[in-house]
Amino acid sequence: MRTSGLAIFGVALLAVASHARAAGWAAGWLGPAVYPAAADYPVIVREYRNQTVRQTFRVAATGARLRVVLTNELGQAPLHVGAARVALSASDGSPLPGTERILSFSHRPGIIIPAGAPAYSDPVALAIPAGAEIEVSIFYPDSARPAAHLAPISISGPGDRTGEAHLDGAVDERGPALVSRLDVEATVTPPVIVALGDSITEGPAGRPGYHMSWPEQLGALLEYKTTLLNAGIGGNRLLHDGSSEGAAALARFDRDVVAAPGVREVVLLEGINDIGFGAQNIANHVNIADLVAADLQLIARAHEHGLRILAGTLIPFEGADYYTTEGERARQALNTFIRSGVFDGVIDFDQALRDPDHPSRLRPDYARPDHLHPSDAGFTEMASTALRAGVGRSVATP
């Protein structure tokens, strides 16, 4: 038994030494956690049981090694992961041959993640080109209700099918996807920028699979020399939590921004849901002073961590379900504050997307039918506006 104990201790020392030598980790993709979906939330898978779930996403950084971060930070109970694999994704959605890697956690094939905690995989060697599609397959041996970002996923039938190229008979659905971040390691790591926002940042109204959110389009415009991470959550607010809308921006700032390795800058685009939902529910009502105070808090916290913080002006929303004239006055007042010079930079999305003949509305070709979310062309204009505003310029690698 003594020899076995020494051997285990030696493996632990080697693992610590290897970790200490590791350098150059940077976040390459982000999927901010949300609370488990409410029972009345439509078309969302809420529970997995003895199933394999596969999620696919585009990584915005290059590297020679990667590690995967799983989340149970908003969970209320321990979460059991039985097995996990990662691979580059081929054009048909299957793992690219030769790139499959088994993930381990503290040198074990699975892990039980305590409520309130993340779980880091052990690093694996895998060359990742710029803009690569990555897929992660996770086997849930027990009943699980992950508190994770809602995303397109494939859900298998019974059993551990993480090693299968094609999940035959799988159901494609929108549900909680357990990977909350993917980090890459490279000799030269690009600066990381986190876009913190709601659905206008997340971009769920864009064409699925075409990566039309403005942060993803901006990353491509920057040729992936700067890593843009999308920390948008549909329905998110500055000051109030929501079930599927996640924690308020003030509550999730450290987890979704500060904790991202390599982060140098944050772009804030939040507040329209505070205004709109507040008009519908008196318990969530906010005034302009509340929103200004929230922005000042985020500025102070970003600067405490040495981060630049830029803000986008709120885009017009007349015609949206929760539009009111009082809400429009609040939007204009908050935009005036944003333009006042308190942030390290301003991206005037309002000016870029508003209808010149009706400034409280989105320009028709930039608007979706709900008059709240931009069209694909609107998202493209947002990316171009952010580029012209110099996002990433002050933190770019020479």
**What pLDDT is recorded for position 7?**
43
Residue 6 scores a pLDDT above 70: no
Strands 308-312 and 263-269: what pairing?
Answer: parallel
Give the tens place of pLDDT for each residue, 101-148.
999 999 999 999 999 999 999 999 999 998 899 999 999 999 999 999
Average pLDDT on 158-163 reads: 96
Spatial distance between the Cα atoms of 85 and 35, rounded to a whole number of angstroms: 24
Q: 236-257 as b/e, with b when 16 or more CB fall inside 10 Å?
A: bbbbbbbebbbbbbbebbebbb
Q: pLDDT value at position 11?
A: 42
Q: What is the pLDDT of residues 256-298, one digit of tens each?
A: 999 999 999 999 999 999 999 998 888 788 999 999 999 999 9
Average the pLDDT over 168-197 and give the result: 92
d(CA 366, CA 373): 9
Higher per-residue pLDDT: 396 or 146: 146
Amino acid in the structure at residue 182? L
Q: 88 CB contacts (<8 Å, ≥6 apart)?
A: 95, 96, 99, 126, 128, 132, 133, 134, 135
Q: Which residue has the tokens 């630049």?
A: 308
Among residues of the chain, what percentage have pLDDT more than 70?
90
Determine the topology of domain 190-388 in CATH: Rossmann fold (3.40.50)
Best mean pLDDT range from 41-50, 76-85, 239-248: 76-85
Report, as an integer, the average pLDDT of 165-194: 91
**Structure tokens of 239?**
């000051």
For 101, residues 6+ apart whose C-beta sits below 8 A from its C-beta are 85, 86, 87, 124, 125, 126
Beta-bridged to residue 49, according to DSSP, are 143
Provide mean pLDDT across the span 368-373.
Answer: 96
Has residue 244 got a pLDDT over 80? no
Task: Provide the 3-class DSSP secondary structure of residue 309.
Answer: strand
Q: What is the pLDDT of residue 8?
A: 38
Beta-bridge partners for 267 = 195, 310
Whether residue 155 contacts residue 171, with contact meaning beta carbons closer than 8 Å, is answered with: yes
Nearest-angstrom CA–CA distance, 372 and 200 = 8
Structure token pair of residue 277: 């939902």
How distant is the alpha carbon of residue 68 from its chain centre? 14
**Residue-range domain boundaries for the chain:** 49-184, 190-388
Q: Mean pLDDT, the chain, as a whole number?
A: 90
How far from chain centre, in Å, is Cα 331? Answer: 25
Banded pLDDT at 240 (limits 50, 70, 90): very high
Residue 37: is its pLDDT beyond 80?
no
Is residue 206 over pLDDT 80?
A: no
Check residues 33 and 209 and name the one with the higher pLDDT.
Answer: 33
pLDDT tens digits along 349-360: 999 999 999 999
Q: β-pairing, 227-232 with 192-197?
A: parallel
Q: For residue 156, which of 146, 145, 144, 169 has the smallest C-alpha distance?
A: 169
pLDDT of residue 174: 86
Question: In the prediction, which pLDDT does 258 show?
Answer: 98
pTM exceeds 0.85? yes
Bridge partners, 242 (sequence order)? 246
pLDDT band at 388 (very low <50, low <70, confident <90, very high): very high
Calpha distance 32→181 (Å, rounded): 8
